[in-house]
């Protein structure tokens, strides 16, 4: 089974949970993922298989996982549920599968556009080209349509 086939049911669950709570991320437990796979997609797998599937779809860039750890004075490190976030590539896969995730794609796209600021240099060419043609902005072609004074 390839990565996109594994990704579709898992990302469908993550997308549904994050959309239900109005967030761009979710943090279900592995048992909750198992229950939802069983009830929504009729898929029965083990926790080890879920971990393998999550690893594959993370390596292929469909999701980002962030392990959350809490430090306790008595217990030391206490593991909490993992934070899952669907990436741009993951949302594109969901849209290609027929899941309407346009609002999420729009939110991600706006964030990308804000980060990427392009500044184009101004063109100040006012001479003829190598073949003798007039280049844009030279001012000579604009005079052609005017009446002689």
Tens digits of pLDDT across the chain (149 residues): 677 777 888 988 998 898 888 888 999 999 999 999 999 888 899 999 999 999 999 999 999 999 888 888 888 888 888 999 999 888 888 888 777 666 666 665 555 444 444 455 555 555 444 444 444 444 444 444 455 55
Per the CB < 8 A criterion, the answer to whether 63 and 3 are in contact is no
Q: What is the pLDDT of residue 144?
A: 45
Angle at 48 between CA 5 and CA 79, to 5 degrees: 115
Q: What is the pLDDT of residue 62?
A: 92
Nearest by Cα to 54 from 43, 46, 63: 63
- Could you tell me the domains of the chain? 3-115 (1.10.10.10)
């Amino acid at each position: 089974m390839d990565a996109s086939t594994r990704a579709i049911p898992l990302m469908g669950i993550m997308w549904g949970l994050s959309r239900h709570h109005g967030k761009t991320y979710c943090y279900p437990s592995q048992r909750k993922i198992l229950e939802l796979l069983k009830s929504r997609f009729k898929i029965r797998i083990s926790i080890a298989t879920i971990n393998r599937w999550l690893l594959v779809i993370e390596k292929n860039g469909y999701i980002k996982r962030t392990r959350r750890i809490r430090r306790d004075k008595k217990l030391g490190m206490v593991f909490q549920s993992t934070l899952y976030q669907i990436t741009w590539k993951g949302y594109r896969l969901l849209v290609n599968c027929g899941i309407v995730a346009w609002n999420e794609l729009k939110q991600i796209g706006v964030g990308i556009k804000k980060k990427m600021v392009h500044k184009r240099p101004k063109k100040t060419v006012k001479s003829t080209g190598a073949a003798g043609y007039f280049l844009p902005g030279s001012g000579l072609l604009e005079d052609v349509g005017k009446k002689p004074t």
